Structure 1
Amino acid sequence: MFKIATTPKMMEDAYNIRKEVFVREQGVPLENEIDEHENIATHVVGYDKKDIPFATGRFRPYKDGVKIERVAIIKTHRNSGLGKLLMSFLEEVAINKNYPNLMLNAQYHARPFYESLGYHTIGEIFLEENIEHIAMIKKI
């Protein structure tokens, strides 16, 4: 179901999901969505039983751990438990690389979801791409 992106096609799948969710749905400019961290990040893509991509996320080294970013699930697959499975997969891969802390900037409306996974807020709400976010951390 979830795989580390290892081919150009898998990266294209990840980018297409992000474009659908962040650019089309949320209005993030494409030039801000694809960034300078693409090449250093570990990207993950979720595929359904028909091998159709439906989810993505990435993480990269950050301070004393990793920063999980660009977590996205296409609209037809939301509210089905797949977000939790995606996060578990991302966390497992990061833990296997011996990172002690998991950090992310959650869209504020998703804060309860991340709290249910053991993340805690740090700092204040801030705007990124005109969307309210909050920094969160999970110690392993």
Structure 2
Amino acid sequence: MNQTASQHAEEFGFELGDIIQEWLWDDDVDDSIRAQIEELTGEDLVDEDYDSAVDGVIIWWRDGDDEDELSDTIVDAYTVLGDDGPLWVLTPKPGRRGAASSSTVQSAAKTAGMNAATPLTVNSDWNGIRLRAFGKGR
């Protein structure tokens, strides 16, 4: 199990019993991050087809994907997110295949009506950035 992912699972802001929705999964995602979230919440991650309210969201994003698609995904994810729960965009770190610039994520977040708020080093290959609706938190 990746120790960094283990240390940071709680820093996502997820809690026991939370339902976490995962968007844009692909075979390059880090399964240790997913496993730690599932262990922390005690629940399996649900995919983007899940149509009930969720307590948190992770979006896997890579450079080369359409920025407008990221904005649309953020909007779609936020509509099922209850009570301003944690919404994270996870991107490969600089130097890794698919690394996205923080300005791309920030621009997409702004277009979606969100602020890019809290950065997090998730592990040696992935960074995360927490998004919040304008006017919510810091």
Q: Which bracket does the TM-score occupy, shorter chain normalised?
A: 0.3 to 0.5
Considering only CA atoms, is the larger Rg found in Structure 1 or Structure 2?
1
* Higher RCO (CA 8 Å, separation ≥ 6 residues): 2
- Structure having the higher strand fraction is 1
